[in-house]
């Protein structure tokens, strides 16, 4: 047993290592191996250039796109702005709605059945209604993204609030906390792991919603850029756009985890 595992204050055991590598190291190894296999397959006679291109060509095209001001402003910037709006609004509304469902039993009984069937609703079918209500452009896609991500944030945040034990409520009453003090200092930190999960899933849902809407319905944005590359058989540009989406989603998810985990008391020494 290492010295770290017995030091008081560590609420979690140190991460396990396999062959002296932690789990993130093995994740990187697996990704590198898979990319190498794709590179070899794409350069072999088995692959068609209309189906896949080498990873090196994807990366080169991605670098070129990131140096293209028109792509950065008209495609990437527009899409990132809509994703940020949808994610921010759905996060705030989702956590607030989860608190209301946890705090008031009437709200829970009235609205929980709708959340349970939330994912059976064909969300993209609402796009024509959004266009009628808000017109074409950014607004209907942003609203659709917010609606799509709202449910998963709410469900996970409510699960976190409901996981608080009765002794936690008694502690707040003993300390004579106001409702806001109890929420900020006890309830929110206790529910934070579930909220983090909901926010990461909410970000994924927001990205999926925006890109799918742009791919199918819009005439601008990163999703539309990928769609045009696909229709014109520009496979290198299509995969470059997909790489940009993947990298942004991964970086955003890691950033959310890193920021919110700093406030998680279970991870503190």
Residue 201 scores a pLDDT above 70: yes
Burial class (CB in 10 A: 0-12, 13-18, 19+), 231: exposed
Q: Could you tell me if residue 185 is inside a domain?
A: yes
Q: Could you tell me if residue 47 is inside a domain?
A: no
- Among 108, 76, 102, which residue's Cα sits nearest to residue 240? 76
Q: Any residues with CB less than 8 A from the CB of 164 and at least 6 apart, and which? A: 186, 187, 190, 191
Q: Could you tell me if residue 9 is inside a domain?
A: no
The confidence score (pLDDT) of residue 8 equals 45
Q: Could you tell me if residue 21 is inside a domain?
A: no
By mean pLDDT, which of 74-83, 155-164, 183-192 is the weakest?
183-192
The confidence score (pLDDT) of residue 95 equals 92
Q: How far apart are CA 67 and CA 139, in angstroms?
A: 28
Residue 117 scores a pLDDT above 50: yes
Contact 34, 27 (CB under 8 A): no
Domain extent, residue 121, equals: 76-262
The confidence score (pLDDT) of residue 89 equals 94
Residue 55 scores a pLDDT above 50: yes
Q: Could you tell me if residue 199 is inside a domain?
A: yes
The confidence score (pLDDT) of residue 164 equals 79
Number of domains in the chain: 1
Residue 31 scores a pLDDT above 50: yes
Q: What's the CATH code of the domain at 124?
A: 1.10.3720.10
What's this model's pTM, rounded to 2 decimal places? 0.77
pLDDT tens sequence across 224-256: 888 888 888 888 888 888 888 888 888 888 887
The confidence score (pLDDT) of residue 250 equals 83
Q: How far apart are CA 52 and CA 189, in angstroms?
A: 46
Q: Do the strands 21-22 and 17-18 form a parallel or antiparallel pair, or are they unpaired?
A: antiparallel
Q: Which pair of structure tokens corresponds to residue 52?
A: 């896949």
Mean pLDDT of the chain: 80
The confidence score (pLDDT) of residue 2 equals 45
Q: Could you tell me if residue 89 is inside a domain?
A: yes
Q: Could you tell me if residue 12 is inside a domain?
A: no
Rg of the chain over Cα atoms, rounded to whole angstroms, equals: 23
The confidence score (pLDDT) of residue 13 equals 54
Residue 14 scores a pLDDT above 60: no
Q: Could you tell me if residue 54 is inside a domain?
A: no
The confidence score (pLDDT) of residue 19 equals 63
Secondary structure element (H or E) that encloses residue 86, with its range: helix 78-103
Residue 9 scores a pLDDT above 50: no
Neighbours of 212 (CB within 10 A): 19
**Percent of the chain at pLDDT exceeding 90:** 9
By mean pLDDT, which of 30-44, 105-119, 255-269 is the weakest?
255-269
């Amino acid at each position: 047993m290492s010295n770290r595992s017995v030091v008081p204050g560590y609420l979690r055991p140190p991460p396990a290592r396999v062959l002296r590598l932690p789990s993130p190291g093995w994740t990187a190894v697996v990704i590198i191996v898979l990319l190498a296999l794709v590179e070899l397959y794409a350069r072999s006679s088995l692959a068609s250039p209309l189906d896949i291109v080498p990873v090196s060509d994807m990366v080169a095209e991605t670098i070129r796109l990131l140096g293209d001001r028109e792509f950065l402003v008209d495609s990437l910037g527009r899409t990132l702005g809509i994703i940020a709006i949808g994610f921010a609004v759905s996060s705030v509304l989702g956590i607030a709605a989860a608190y209301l469902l946890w705090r008031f039993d009437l709200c829970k009984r009235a609205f929980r059945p709708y959340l349970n069937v939330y994912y059976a609703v064909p969300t993209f079918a609402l796009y024509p209604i959004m266009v009628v209500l808000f017109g074409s452009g950014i607004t209907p896609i942003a609203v659709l993204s917010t609606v799509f991500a709202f449910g998963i944030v709410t469900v996970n945040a409510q699960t976190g609030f409901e996981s608080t034990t009765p002794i936690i409520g008694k502690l707040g009453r003993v300390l004579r906390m106001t409702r806001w003090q109890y929420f900020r200092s006890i309830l929110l930190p206790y529910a934070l792991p579930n909220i983090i999960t909901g926010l990461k899933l909410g970000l994924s849902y927001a990205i999926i919603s925006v890109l799918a809407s742009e791919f199918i319905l819009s005439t601008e944005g990163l999703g539309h850029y990928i769609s045009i590359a696909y229709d014109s058989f520009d496979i290198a540009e299509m995969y470059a756009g997909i790489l940009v989406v993947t990298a942004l989603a991964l970086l955003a998810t890691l950033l959310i985890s890193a920021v919110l985990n700093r406030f998680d008391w279970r991870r503190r020494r």
